[in-house]
Amino acid sequence: MKTTNIAALLTDFGALDPYVGIVKGVIKSLSPRASLIDLAHEILPQDVRSAAFHLMVSVPYFPDGTLFVAVVDPGVGSSRAVLYAETARHRYLAPDNGLLSWVFRKQPPRVLRSVENDALFLSPVSRTFQGRDVFAPVAGHLLGGMKSKRLGPPYQMKTRIPFPEPVRSKNKIQGEVLVVDRFGNLISNIGEREMRGRRLRVRVGRSKMLPLCPSYSEGPDKAPFVVRGSFGFLEVAVKNGNAAERLKACVGDELSAEVSS
């Protein structure tokens, strides 16, 4: 496949500590010309599901050949495998804990390997920071041009996180809040294309029915409303405000949509 010198990094390491910087130091030691892009590092500690969502919505916008290094890894130091994967357009390093499940919904993997060649790792490998000791040096070798065959043997992914598919009936669809973003927008699991009709209305938990608006700026003042979100899902927003706070809503809350045609 086509490769680039670009790696996109997704972790739960945060900005408080130098963990992300250390990972970059290791990568640059092995591949000085690597170009490193931060996808997100403020994922809640060990929140593999959020990481799976972030990756799913981000991946299509990156150059062909980009290497995604995703380390949200509550099983660090256990026997969970480290995965290398290739899809039609991109490359991935991640623990086998479901993190790649949602990105593979649209882009199934063509190559899957278990990363086992410890000659590529830092030595000794710690049991607590394999972002530094395993993922970073392997990424550095790959970005430096090493063939992926050298990583380890072909592998079958063991852990999947099922995507929470909404429950469909004729004019109604019952879903949930998948993610709350920094603006307080509630991003649902309901595909925006599924719900076409004269009048689309959404309810979060026991809220009133909320109207559909074409953009944030065209929403009503202060009251929550629905938009067709930029990731292909229905979203609930408040103009210049915070829908999560207004509706006291959070991840996992029921969100249902109705169409009258």
Q: For binding to a copy of itself (CB under 8 A), which residues are involved? A: 4, 6, 8, 10, 13-22, 24-26, 28-29, 32, 35-42, 45-46, 54, 57-58, 61-63, 66, 74-78, 80, 126-129, 132-133, 181-183, 214-218, 227-230, 235, 237, 239-240, 242
Helix axes of 19-30 and 136-143: crossing angle, nearest 10 degrees: 30
Phi, psi of 239 (to 5 degrees): -60, 125
- Give the shortest CB-79-to-a copy of itself separation in angstroms: 9
Nearer to a copy of itself, 171 or 240 (CB): 240
Q: How far is 177 from 237, CA to CA, in rounded Å?
A: 12
- Give the shortest CB-17-to-a copy of itself separation in angstroms: 5
Distances (CA, A) of 228 to 187, 189, 231: 10, 12, 9
- Give the shortest CB-43-to-a copy of itself separation in angstroms: 8
Nearer to a copy of itself, 142 or 167 (CB): 142
Distances (CA, A) of 19 to 24, 78, 147: 9, 20, 27
Nearer to a copy of itself, 123 or 169 (CB): 123
- Give the shortest CB-143-to-a copy of itself separation in angstroms: 13
The two structure tokens encoding residue 12? 């739960």
Cα 210-195-255 angle, rounded to 5 deg: 45
Nearer to a copy of itself, 11 or 114 (CB): 11
